[in-house]
Amino acid sequence: MKYCSIALALAAAPAFAGEAPAPAPAPAPIVSNLADSRAGWFLGVKGSALWMDNISYTRDAGLGDISVDSDFKTGWGVTTPFGYRFDNGVSLGASIGYYTADMDRVTVRYRGTELRDVRIDADPAMVPILANVAYSFSLTEALSMSLGGGLGISWHEFDLDQVEGYRYDSSSDGWDFSWQLFGGFNYSVAPNTDLTLGYRYIASDSDVDDLRGHNLEAGVVIRF
């Protein structure tokens, strides 16, 4: 009888205990979607410090090659990207920029042996007009990263003003194939505004010389 009473008490306990508590909901994933899904039109402006790769010209002088190596000073650039970002993180757009870096000397070599440095005052510049594609993905709620590239054309100009202190007015310009690779971080400071920090590699190819530039850039992008 004693054991029967205990069994009845245990069987009746759930009826007095009320309903069992609901299971706790599963924690939400930290990042539910890596793609930056903030879709819409965008327009930005970015300024940069520019480091140009040196240019070397080589000519056959009959008895041996004469080469001229050009050294650039640190320059600057600005670019304006614009386009449309889809909700899967892919952006399609274009950009137009302006990049310039002064040249203050060239080194003349004969058969690989340095002859002398020549002081000059030259101002090369390029204006690339490119079609771009990029992909943006979220790192945190406010921070994202973008990677992309572009192809297009570039107008370039080379002004030579002085050689060894003497006036020497010479100028050339033209259009060439151009391309770029870029990447950087975007920090959202408002629902439609990002501050950006990144790197851009810009290149222009021609039959005479190839211009190559490395940009450390910062800017702002507005979404509409």
Tell me the pLDDT tens digit for each residue of 36-60: 668 899 999 999 999 998 876 666 6
Domains and CATH numbers, the chain: 33-53+73-104+120-223 (2.40.160.20)
Pairing of strands 103-110, 166-190: unpaired
Measured at the CA of 85, the angle between CA 190 and CA 146, to 5 degrees, comes to 75
Pairwise CA distance, residues 189 & 37, whole Å: 16
Q: What is the pLDDT of residue 79?
A: 97
Q: Which residue has the higher pLDDT, 127 or 172?
A: 127
Helix, strand or coil, per DSSP, at residue 10: helix
Q: What is the pLDDT of residue 11?
A: 42
Phi, psi dihedrals of residue 5, rounded to the nearest 5°: -65, -40
Q: What is the pLDDT of residue 116?
A: 73
Summarize pLDDT for 64-114 with one digit per residue, the tens. 666 677 778 899 999 999 999 999 999 999 999 999 998 877 777 766 676
Reading the block at residue 155, the tokens are: 């107008």
Q: What is the pLDDT of residue 161?
A: 78
Separation in Å, CA 99 to CA 47, 69, 76, 188 = 10, 20, 6, 27
Q: What is the pLDDT of residue 7?
A: 40
Separation in Å, CA 13 to CA 4, 6, 17, 18, 99 = 14, 11, 6, 9, 81
Share of the chain above pLDDT 70, in %: 74
Mean pLDDT of the chain: 81
Closest CA to 163 of 220, 215, 199, 119: 119
Of the ranges 34-43, 62-71, 151-160, 212-221, which one carries the lowest mean pLDDT score? 62-71
Reading the block at residue 147, the tokens are: 């990677």
Mean per-residue pLDDT, 16-32: 48
pLDDT at 32 over 60: no
Reading the block at residue 165, the tokens are: 């202190």
